[in-house]
Homo-oligomer: A and B are copies of this chain.
Amino acid sequence: MSAITQDGRCVALPSLYSQETESHRCRGAGKNVADSDAHESIANLILLSLPRATLRRLQPDLELVSTARGEVVDRADQPVNYLHFVNRGLISLVKSMEDGRTVEIGVVGIEGVTQPGTIFGISRAPLDTVVQVPGSAFRIKHGIMKDCLAKDQELREALEKYERFALLAFAQTAACNRLHHLEERCCRWLLIAHDNALSDTFQLTHEFLAMMLGVQRSGVSIAASRLQKAGLIQYRRGQVTIVNRSGLEDATCECYATMRTEFRKLFGPPKSA
């Protein structure tokens, strides 16, 4: 599976979404695929999976926007104006408690779209939806998307399949957050972020990561510095670089691999290599 750029280039996709068994390709640190792309090519896997005709119908209504770290895309219980097909970066679904502590329930990466459920049922966001790793997304008005869906069986099926994956990932994350150690969970999160950042370096602070994992910031700092000492990552002031991806995969819990397996089961082996 790979992303096809507008000019026909073929970009290898990162591990969670790729079919290679051992994919430890590290992209040049700091290189940011789309930094200078005015017309960013489509990397979102839902959009890429659609038949050409379907995609063409959607395209006039898709608007490329860049997403900034911390940006609140949707707020829990508020109406959803746009759906975001993530093209690069990571968007988190976050539950906030009364005392202000937070936990990430799930993420939307380049495999997905925000608020798929609002298309079928109630059109209010169930959770806070926040940009974790900045990047870009194709957004589409909620109402337009709803109309498109009514007319297009393929699109509907793609969303249903994605919802299925999202639910499985939520469950895995919930269990992981309960049962696994902080350091393992840090690794899991970094791997997923890496998969979606389309770059080995991306913005991320300990503070943010702590909020996602539902732990104290100081705990993340300790875990992160251990990972750094082990040569797996490098970071400085809100910027992480994945140095040794396969090392991270060894250091994480089963959950990352399980999600990858589920992803493949659902989205299947590609037609060919």
Contacts and interface: CB of A to CB of B under 8 A. Distances in A.
A126 interface: yes
Q: Is the interface of A mostly helix, strand, loop or mixed?
A: helix
Interface of A: 93, 95, 97-98, 101-103, 105, 117, 120-122, 126-127, 160-161, 163-164, 167-168, 170-175, 177-179, 214, 254, 266
27 contacts: A93-B171, A95-B171, A95-B174, A95-B175, A97-B179, A101-B179, A102-B175, A103-B175, A103-B179, A105-B171, A105-B174, A105-B175, A117-B164, A121-B161, A121-B163, A122-B160, A122-B161, A122-B164, A122-B266, A126-B164, A126-B167, A126-B168, A126-B171, A170-B174, A178-B178, A178-B214, A179-B214
Contacts of A173: 174
A254 B105 contact: no
A160 to B, nearest CB: 3
A44 B172 CA distance: 29
Contacts of A127: 171
A212 B124 CA distance: 29
A103 B172 CA distance: 10
7 smallest CB-CB distances across A and B, nearest first, come from A121-B160, A174-B174, A178-B214, A95-B175, A103-B175, A105-B171, A177-B178
